[in-house]
Amino acid sequence: MTVLTRARPRTVHRARSVRNRDGWWAAFFLAPQVAALLVFLAFPLGFAVVLAFMRWDGLGQKEWVGFDNFAAQLSDPEFGLAVWNTVKLALLTVPFGLGLALLIAVALNNVKGGGFYRVLYFLPVVTSSVAVALMWQIILAGDDYGVLNASLERWFGISAPDWLGGPGWVIVAVAVVTIWSSLGLNVVIFLAGLQTIPPQIVEAARMDGAGSLRIFRSVTLPLLSPTIFFSTVVAVISSFQAFDQIYVLVDPADNEGARTIVYQVYELGFKDFRFGMSSAAALILLVLTLLVTLVQFAAQKRLVHYDS
Amino acid sequence: MRPRQVALHAALSLGGLAMLFPFVWMLLTSFKGVRQMLNNPLDWLPHPWRWENYPDALGAMPFGTAYWNSFYIAVLNVTLTLLTSAMAAYAFARIRFRGSGALFVVFLATQMVPAQVTVVPLYLMLARFGWIDSHLSLIVPTIANPFAVFLLRQFIRAVPVELEEAARIDGASRWRCFWHVVLPNIRPGLGALGIIAFLASWNAFFFPLIFLNSPELATVPLLLSQFSGQRTAVDYGLILAASAIAVVPTLIAFLVGQRKIINSMAASGLGGR
């Protein structure tokens, strides 16, 4: 008994010192990442918010202008065009891109030896976006020397528009390139989701006499809905941030049809050196992203099926 | 084979061709001369084959320097990302400390911030450091990588705790446990993340475009993008030869590690973006 009572304080003391030492170890292990996050992410984010309320060209005096930058952007028809183009791009890439990826993933899931296709569809994902845009720029070129328009002319007698030349079709062309280059990633994400669906459930539905379409609608889609939801959120966010392919395919400086919010941020900041204005535009993009994500999460409650 | 299988294979092959088409077309066109391109873009095969397009493309721009720049920046990015994010992941997975959960949530939340929101202040800050038009601007800030921490934490949690406890009873420090017990056991995770980080660094365009000015500092995508301004010159053969040269390293990296890359990107759902 006496031995035990004497032993206890010592173990308590030891446990505390281990925890203290662990605290120092945790700090040591976390230090590089936390420092980098603070310096290169948290601080610039705070700075961006402050800048958005200032007028500053980087050299002269900073001037506090309140909400002027936001008001100027929101009433500028050019910014309105950028918002509209951004939304159009999302409306084209997200439903069509994910729908196509879902079809391919379901097909791959039902086929034997699909590994080869998986690699094929994934190839553009790992290819430099600049190289992808250069390839497509030449395929889509107007004036009959683009291979697409020449083929349409010769085989179908269609005289196609100059996809990249004017404001009319640019967003569609950008959407096609974006869908092509991100398809593989969405396919493998959907495929991973499909492979978690227990075959017994599908078998049971089949025994009850359900056809393929019925199984897809009543079994596959609900069970895959968390994956679809997640991919939709990611796809919307990344379509809002599309830059590389747009910048290379069609410099939006020459073609206002390709002007997006991100391009606006780039131009205001790094061509016009209106840092406050650029930050305001970027914050509007951030708010728009958060709003859309919130709406998606609200919709998720009704549409997404989670195992309980 | 059942007819259904045949139909599926046919549909998937057709789609696969559509995925492959731009690459094949790029390769073939990269051997064509200007006149052939303009006369008839439907002429698939080059005649004559203009092998000179490749040396010409290499000569038109400092590709050698750009390759070296892209390569060493990517290697440094990979090394720094793997080391620092494995350390942080270890702390989150294995060490109990106050505020661990909350800090992890903050880590994940920072991923939501688009690069475009922080790019102007980041530029101003790096200018203050004297890092604009220096490769430091492409190396140091990319250390902050919550995605990598998240991914490696998943791998570390799958390593049995008992392995580490045995070492600790023998008097090993946390660092020794991390270095000699945990790291060797998460090699597949480190490999996958390494390739993702390599590709992300090699293909990066937005930050190099903004942070670099000098031609001799350009990375491969940046150099390549300068061809796009030459739309009117229509020497497509040359442009596509340059693209082909630029794409080769990533395609090799991908084909070597394709299973790892595809699986880990599918599992993380976010890729390196």
**Residue type at position A151:** S
Per-residue pLDDT at A177: 96
For the four alpha carbons of B28, B30, B31 and B35, in that order, the dihedral sign comes to positive
Torsions phi, psi for A63 (to 5 deg): -130, 130
Task: Give the start-to-end residue ranges of the domains of chain A.
Answer: 77-303
Contact A97, A179 (CB under 8 A): yes
Residue of B nearest to A57 (CA): B124
The answer to whether residue B116 is domain-embedded is yes
Q: Does residue B198 belong to the interface with chain A, where contact is any CB pair within 8 Å?
A: no
A25-65 tens-digit pLDDT: 999 999 999 999 999 999 999 999 999 999 988 788 888 99
- Tell me which of A43, A128, A268 to substitute to probe the interface with B (most B C-beta atoms closer than 10 Å): A128
Domain-embedded: residue B48: no
Q: CA angle, corner A222, sides to A216 and A228, nearest 5?
A: 100
Q: Does B9 touch chain A (CB under 8 A)?
A: yes
Residue B251 lies in a domain: no
Residue B255 lies in a domain: no
Residue B85 lies in a domain: yes
Q: Could you give the 3-state DSSP secondary structure of residue B261?
A: helix
Q: What percent of chain B has pLDDT over 90?
A: 49
Residue given tokens 């890092």 in the structure block: B131
Q: Where are the alpha helices (DSSP H) in B61-135?
A: 63-94, 100-110, 115-129
Taking one residue from A and the other from B, the number of pairs with CB-CB distance under 8 angstroms is 277
Contacts of A156 (CB under 8 A, 6+ apart): none
Give the tokens for residue A102: 């879902």
Question: Looking at the predicted structure, is the pLDDT value of residue A115 above 70?
Answer: yes
Cβ–Cβ of A135/B22 closer than 8 Å? yes
Give the C-alpha separation, A188 to A97, whole Å: 13
What distance in Å separates residue A5's CA from the closest CA in chain B?
Answer: 25
Q: What is the ipTM of this complex?
A: 0.88
Cα B23–chain centre separation:
19
What is residue A246's predicted lDDT score, i.e. its pLDDT?
A: 94
**Residue A267: pLDDT above 80?**
yes
In this prediction, residue A141 carries a pLDDT of: 84
In this structure, is residue B50 part of a structural domain?
no
Which contacts of A290-294 are long-range, i.e. CB under 8 A and separated by 24 or more positions?
A290/B112, A292/A236, A292/A240, A293/A233, A293/A236, A293/A237
Distances (CA, A) of A106 to A1, A124, A226, A262, B134: 68, 20, 16, 34, 47
In a domain, B16, yes or no: no
Asked whether the beta carbons of B16 and A121 are under 8 A apart, the reply is yes
Task: Please give, rounded to a whole number of angstroms, the shortest distance from the CA of A196 to a CA of chain B.
Answer: 12
Q: Of chain B residues 23-42, which have a CB less than 8 A from chain A?
A: 23, 25-26, 29, 37-38, 40-42
- Domain residues for B91? 61-230
Mean pLDDT of chain A, nearest integer: 88
Are residues B180 and B159 in contact, defined by beta-carbon separation less than 8 angstroms? no
pLDDT at A278 exceeding the cut of 90: yes
Domain holding B127: CATH number? 1.10.3720.10
Strand, coil or helix: A238: helix
Let me know how long chain A is: 308
Please identify every stretch of chain B with a pLDDT value under 70, giving residue numbers as ranges. Answer: 1, 229-234, 267-273
Tens of pLDDT along A3-17?
444 445 555 555 566
Of B11, B12, B22, the CB nearest to A139: B22
B-chain residues within 8 Å CB-CB of A111?
5, 8-9, 12
The answer to whether B115 contacts A136, with C-beta atoms less than 8 Å apart, is: no
DSSP result, A125-151: HHS-HHHHHHHHHHHS-TTTTSHHHHH
Q: What is the pLDDT of residue B246?
A: 87
pLDDT number for residue A7: 47
Q: How far is CA A29 from the centre of its chain?
A: 30
A266 near A184, Cβ under 8 Å? no
Residue A93: pLDDT above 80?
yes
Say yes or no for a CB contact (<8 Å) between B41 and A247: no
Give the residue among A293, A43, A186 at the shortest CA–CA distance from B110: A43
* B103 lies in some domain: yes
Residues of A in contact with B115 (CB under 8 A): 241
Whether residue A265 and residue B120 make contact (CB cut-off 8 A), yes or no, is yes
By C-alpha distance, which of B31, B9, B182 is closest to B94? Answer: B182
Q: Considering only residues A264 and B25, tell me which one the structure prediction assigns the higher pLDDT.
A: A264
Report chain B residues whose CB lies below 8 A from the CB of A224: none
Give me the number of domains chain B comprises. Answer: 1
* For residue A201, pLDDT beyond 80: yes
**CATH class of the domain whose range is A77-303:** mainly alpha
pLDDT digits (tens, 9 = 90+) for A173-191: 999 999 999 999 999 989 9
Distance from CA of A203 to the nearest CA of B (A): 18
Q: Of B243, B198, B197, B252, give the one whose Cα is nearest residue B221.
A: B243
Closest Cβ opposite residue B41 in set A34, A122, A147: A147
pLDDT at A59: 81
Tell me if B95 and A26 make a contact (CB, 8 A cut-off): yes
Nearest to B200 by CA among B145, B121, B267, B130: B145
The answer to whether B34 and B235 have CB atoms below 8 angstroms apart is yes
Sign of CA dihedral B207, B208, B213, B217: positive
Contact state of B25 with A139 under an 8 Å Cβ cutoff: yes
